[in-house]
Structure 1
Amino acid sequence: MKKTLLALTTIALSPAAAYAQSSVTLYGIVTGNVTYTNNVQTAATPTGGKPTGGGQVAQFDSGTSGPSSSRWGLKGTEDLGGGVKTLFVLESGFSVSNGTLGQGGTLFGRQAWIGLTAPNYGTASLGRQSDAAVDYVSPLLYAWYFGNLAIHPADYDNLNFTHRINNAIKYSSDSFGGFRFGALYSLGGIAGNFTQNQYWSTGFSYTGPSVALAASIINARNPNNSLYGTNANASATGNNLGSAGSATTPASNPSISGFASARSQQTVAVASTWTIGSAILGLAWSNTQYRDLGATASLNAQNYHGTASFNTVGASVRYQVTPFLRVGTSFDYTNGGNLNGSGGARYEQWNLGAGYSLSKATELYATAAYQHASGVDSWGRQAVADIGYLSPSTTSKQLAVSAGIKHLF
């Protein structure tokens, strides 16, 4: 009888012993802000016309995509022995203003992956993940520290982590003397066409005592689906880059949405920072090419052909005034949508930011951005200013100011 009780006790306790090597953590960010914009359009007229609206607007908005946006998640590990571990992350973006899901209503729209890691061998993972541009270049950028207003037009280079990659196989190395590298490949999932909708990226970063450097390259086949069409509300046949707007709705991402017919998109990005005392100086450059325009005829309203190219160069300064107060400023210049070497639009944007820590977990922050646009946008219209995730202006200028509170848990 005693032996039987001992055996039953051992069996009952064995799951507890197995799970003792596992851990699951609930984490997230809750952030909310009030944003004032001096000019937003309410409708967009046909090519050659002028958008209507132009009124001032104040809105409660936290965004759901950027590095500081509201989200909650679960991450876990299990020790398999010999330093080998199983990892997983499930992360969901949401709007703190109304509680709705981000990423087009995708439940775990920010991240959903599982993988294995081992000392000196790095991490291999499968699922919905970030690409190499986000992993290596983005953390060096001003927008990573001071929010969504400072992103490049329509986040065309995905350096603000607007888009996630589905069906992805990814490898990330450990750090070797400050040097890290990695690569990602996404399966297209199209029967009979192995390369349709495929996506690949690779990159590296080096972090030293005072200098950091990173570079990446991404390539998306049929980017309208493989990059911009990865959320739950994406269209299988419609334009996922944005829209030209209508007599009753404003334009969406007018800087790039006219290029949805591209067969492929390639983006190269480079960034570097220098730390001097309490100051961080930064430089960055990115180039995106929407190649073979017209490959999807139903999305080529402008009858484009060839390649549209975007370049952005930026400089920034960030300064830790006290252990609790940080400030920063940056300037970005984008020469966007040059089609076969001619035309296109230009966007000049100044950014300011400040953050004051009330504790290790809670911060008050304020950001501001001013953008000036010129030239012709992707729909062949006079370019208008279009800051961050806000609605475009009716004119070439737009000013936005935002203030809020952020809490980490």
Structure 2
Amino acid sequence: MKKIFFSYGLVLLSTSALAQSSVTLYGSLDMGVDFNTNSKGSHLVQAVAGKRQPDRFGFLIREDLGGGTAAVARLESGFLTGTGASISPTSFFNRYAYVGLTNNSYGTVTMGNIPDYVYEYIGALNNAVPGISSFYTTGNLDGLANTRALNNSVKYESPDFYGFQFGLMNAFGNQAGDFSSGRQYSIGAKYWHGPAKVSFAYSMSHDRTADLFGIFGVTSVLGQKLGTGVLFNADRYSTLAIAGSYQIDRFLPHLTYTDVKLTNSEGSVRERNYQGGVNMDLTGTHEYILGLSYNRSIFQELTFNQYNVFLDWYLSKSTELYAGVGLERASGPNAHAAQFGYQVSTSDSQTIGRVGIHHLF
């Protein structure tokens, strides 16, 4: 990350130009070549961006106000290195956009466009760290990959008490006369201290859609007919997530469990996801990291088992060369393998391999 110091008088043309803010510019660039054994029925070799980590750039802004209090803000935008295009045609700062206040004793309050606690507290502990995007759970229904943030949200996060933190947030639906319509909320708690990391999170969305046909190939769920471009409409969409890891010398075993529940007036359906693996520092210098992991996702009568291997070579703290392979097998009625971030297979199996380079700044 690079820090640049600006005067409000120069940047904002403010008349009160005595205060100083620190502005940190940061980002991530990733490019690689993929091989997919079954992409809609055909082998596919492609150069594609953002499969190790999402391509993005952002600004962290902080102004010390005295007495342990500071104003904070963050703006982060996702893009694709391969084309230079934004990942969203409708919002520029599509990953983070918030402003707030933080205090050493009382915690932090922010408002804006912010990911939920499932992503922020659980996302760092799953199989995709380290790994590639296909190591996330089938369909990413649990949101461990940061593909959406909560609009119009207010978030509180406690100070760090010897590794323990908790928080809650509410995203307003902004519907006149109906407070619950479109509303989303999330709570989370974590204990990250020394070699141990344990996290819990729960998120609920009102009136949210999911592409169950595109992911699982199901044509009817809870009385709703589905098809290409026709999404399932959930009155309630909840995610419960628990994760943990523990550093043992060069080995980092980790476990993650998520339970996604979609509900409407006809009842509910669930996707349960189990992830486990171990990351190994092969030399003890954090130069070569080997990751072995396993995913199991269950949705109705469909089961997806995936086996992953990942090798990381850190050329520096900021630059890495990597290679990863994920092998998925699906079972159940009309089952099709479907690794996250890639086209669905026409059979019950799919293998995706990738080699690439990733740089943080």
Residue equivalent to 1:60: 47
Among 358, 372, 395, the residue aligned to 2:315: 358
After superposition, the CA RMSD in angstroms is 2.0
- Which digits, 9 at most, give the CA deviation of each residue in 1:186-208, with x for residues without a partner? 00111221100100110111123
Among 238, 244, 261, the residue aligned to 1:266: 238
Is 1:335 the counterpart of 2:332? The answer is no
Distance 1:383 1:318, change over 3 A: same
Is 1:394 the counterpart of 2:346? The answer is yes
Residue equivalent to 2:19: 18
Counterpart-to-counterpart distance in 2, 1:279 and 1:62: 29
Among 83, 107, 119, the residue aligned to 2:68: 83
Residue equivalent to 1:308: 269
- Which digits, 9 at most, give the CA deviation of each residue in 1:349-369, with x for residues without a partner? 111111111112111111111
Residue equivalent to 1:348: 305
Counterpart-to-counterpart distance in 2, 1:71 and 1:160: 14
- Which digits, 9 at most, give the CA deviation of each residue in 1:300-356, with x for residues without a partner? xxxxx31111111121100111221111011011111x2xxxxx3110011111111
SS of the residue 1:61 aligns to: strand
More helix by share: 1
More strand by share: 2
Is 1:370 the counterpart of 2:327? The answer is yes
Q: CA deviation at 1:141?
A: 1.4
Q: CA deviation at 1:386?
A: 0.8
Q: Which amino acid aligns with 1:319?
A: M
- Which runs of structure 2 are paired with 1:23-102 in the superposition (5 Å)? 23-41=22-40, 54-63=41-50, 68-102=53-87
- Which digits, 9 at most, give the CA deviation of each residue in 1:17-70, with x for residues without a partner? 322xx11121101111111101111xxxxxxxxxxxx11001111238x8x211
Q: Which amino acid aligns with 1:364?
A: L
Residue equivalent to 2:190: 205
Q: Could you tell me the percent identity over the aligned residues?
A: 29
Q: CA deviation at 1:101?
A: 0.4
Return the TM-score normalized by structure 1: 0.79
Q: CA deviation at 1:223?
A: 1.4
Counterpart-to-counterpart distance in 1, 2:68 and 2:196: 31
Does the CA-based 8 Å contact 1:136-1:205 persist in structure 2?
A: yes
Distance 1:361 1:218, change over 3 A: same
Does the CA-based 8 Å contact 1:203-1:216 persist in structure 2?
A: yes
Who wins on radius of gyration, i.e. which is larger? 1
Does the CA-based 8 Å contact 2:127-2:275 persist in structure 1?
A: no
Counterpart-to-counterpart distance in 2, 1:114 and 1:56: 46
SS of the residue 2:19 aligns to: helix
Does the CA-based 8 Å contact 1:265-1:289 persist in structure 2?
A: yes
- Which digits, 9 at most, give the CA deviation of each residue in 1:367-396, with x for residues without a partner? 1111111124xxxxx120011200000000
Q: Which amino acid aligns with 1:56?
A: H
- Which digits, 9 at most, give the CA deviation of each residue in 1:125-153, with x for residues without a partner? 00000101111111111213212110101
SS of the residue 2:130 aligns to: helix
Unpaired segments of 5 or more residues in structure 2?
1-12, 220-225
SS of the residue 2:128 aligns to: helix
